[in-house]
Structure 1
Amino acid sequence: MPTAPRIPHDVDLDARYAAVKRVALAAAQRGMAFYRDREALTVMHKGGDQQDMVSIADRQIEEYIRADLSREFPEDGLLGEEGGAADLQARCLWVIDPIDGTACFVNGLHAWCVSIGLMVDGEPTLGAIADPNHDELFHACLGRGAFVNDAPIRASAARQVSEGLTGVGTFHPRGKAHFIPFLQGLLSSGGMFIRNGSGALMTAYVAAGRLIGYYETELKSWDCLAGLVLVQEAGGRRNDFFRNNGLLDGNPYLVAAPGVYEQLAALIGPSLDGD
């Protein structure tokens, strides 16, 4: 389990926390405008993978987010799913997913969001996940708690996987060999699973106690950076996602309520840590 992160006191987190909430909400409303007119969108597939989609909405919304954050915090670095990296060595690094759940977005399903997180000195420090379909803004800053809109949230008090729903997912290039065995173990233990197509939202739901855990055989940092702060502040646990260049390459991923984390990790097995 990762050690508790250090809260930076010499960075203006107040300004950045206010900005990330404002920008995420504004970007989500831009996303809704595209969503309502999604039949007109041009959709492409990344690398020939029919499940990995990108649309003009993803690109334009990320450009908006980057421009706004760069204007207010020109010294900060940026890492986005669509626009790549700029100044990765900066002390403050924004990690952006303009539309997490693009496949849901283009197919008219209400499981997509805007996710923006900030790393400070290599630690997830604040984040916002805006879900305009349900008028929910999940947000958190280290040391200040986690919230949905203005209401505090906490991870589930479940002690067994049979006491709630576990979010799951897999990504085709690698890791899928571990997926079916995990599902078999979860079901054999009395658990049940759900997949909604958005890693950011499922992470937020763990922080909010709606899911008892979320396992993905491979996830990218822009899908989860904001949510990791939520989980931390809501009293949940996570695996060591950032090992072996996880920031850029992604890794197996587990977040869970503290009472079921070890049980879920045991069901996943050594692949969770890359062994």
Structure 2
Amino acid sequence: MKNLTDQDIEERYRYACEVAVEAANCGFKFYQQRESLVVEHKGDDFQDVVSKADRTVEDLTRTMISSRFPDDDFLGEETGGGDESALCTWVVDPIDGTSCFLNGLHNWCVSIGILVAGQPVVGVVYDPNHRELFRACKGKGAWVNDKPMRVHPGKDVKDGVMGVGVSHRVTPETFVPFIGNLLHKGGMFIRSGSGALMTAWVAAGRLIGYYEPHMNAWDSLPGLVLVVEAGGVSNDFLANHGLLQGNPLLLANETIFAQLSDMITQRLE
């Protein structure tokens, strides 16, 4: 594949928005009939669930992307893939927040990130329940629908609500001390069940930050672009094969990022 021009990236950015909306609309039809879905569990993790809805929506996104950009690489939560050496990789979670989806909670979304030469350049999160399209392209700012986004201007963790996520891929001892440190500093937190959606809320200034001790790339990549383009900062999520193996994720404005980093470090002492 030839090197991508700015126009090539812009074309993929616009198409990612279209794919996210169409995929979420497909998922929403399943959501309205969720009682009839057969639920399966992935491996030994009882909380990690999947249904026909996840697979159907991922198949739709893969088909749409490959029909428009057949030479681009694809990494999906349900079907895998992913090549760290690829020039352009689409990273997709067809339904982030499957447990919420299956239990009738509105905290789920379609998550699409695009890497070019190993760097995150496009992030798209679509929430069909609230008809909100969070979108960003490197160097072009971050938007929710047609409104520009900026991260929370707070100077201290007490100035807003923190988003957090956790899974059984880490032990409670890895995560609980951070929560203790946050509370001791006067902060507060929520866990909505959709990490990708919470990272979009960070970009929109609704949350002061987001932390998860281990997150997969298909949930993390959009937030990396959204938050940075909204004026925030992130850790180096892609270090040490983060694309395929996952990593911790930390997002916030620069001042609060430093405070949160200290809290995470403290728990390791």
| Bin of the TM-score, shorter chain as denominator length | over 0.9
- Deviation string, structure 1 residues 44-72 (Cα, Å, up to 9, x no partner): 01002110011110001000000000010
Equivalent AA in structure 2 for residue 75 of structure 1: D
1:208-247 pair list within 5 angstroms: 208-247=204-243
- Kindly report the root-mean-square deviation, in angstroms, between the aligned alpha carbons of the 2 structures: 1.6
Alignment length (residue pairs): 266
Displacement after TM superposition at 1:173 (Å): 2.3
2:31 equivalent to 1:41: no
Identity %: 55
2:153 to 157, 164, 168: 157
2:94 to 76, 80, 98: 98
Displacement after TM superposition at 1:160 (Å): 0.2
- Deviation string, structure 1 residues 204-257 (Cα, Å, up to 9, x no partner): 011110000111011000001112110110011111111111111111111112
8 Å contact from structure 1 (residues 76, 87) kept in 2: no
TM-score if structure 1 supplies the norm length? 0.93
Aligned to 1:255: 251
2:104 equivalent to 1:108: yes
Distance 1:165 1:86 in 2: 34
2:156 equivalent to 1:177: no
3-state DSSP of counterpart to 2:255: coil
Distance 1:216 1:34 in 2: 28
3-state DSSP of counterpart to 1:162: helix
Equivalent AA in structure 2 for residue 37 of structure 1: Q
Distance 1:271 1:124 in 2: 29
Displacement after TM superposition at 1:27 (Å): 0.5
Distance 1:236 1:10 in 2: 23
Equivalent AA in structure 2 for residue 114 of structure 1: V
- Deviation larger for 248-257 or 87-96: 87-96
Displacement after TM superposition at 1:88 (Å): 4.7
Distance 1:86 1:262 in 2: 32
Distance 2:174 2:162 in 1: 16
1:1-275 pair list within 5 angstroms: 9=5, 12-85=8-81, 87-269=83-265
3-state DSSP of counterpart to 2:122: strand
8 Å contact from structure 2 (residues 227, 233) kept in 1: yes
Q: Runs ≥4 in structure 1, deviation > 6 angstroms?
A: none
TM-score if structure 2 supplies the norm length? 0.95
- Deviation string, structure 1 residues 12-66 (Cα, Å, up to 9, x no partner): 0121011000000000101110000000111101002110011110001000000
3-state DSSP of counterpart to 2:89: strand
8 Å contact from structure 2 (residues 125, 134) kept in 1: yes
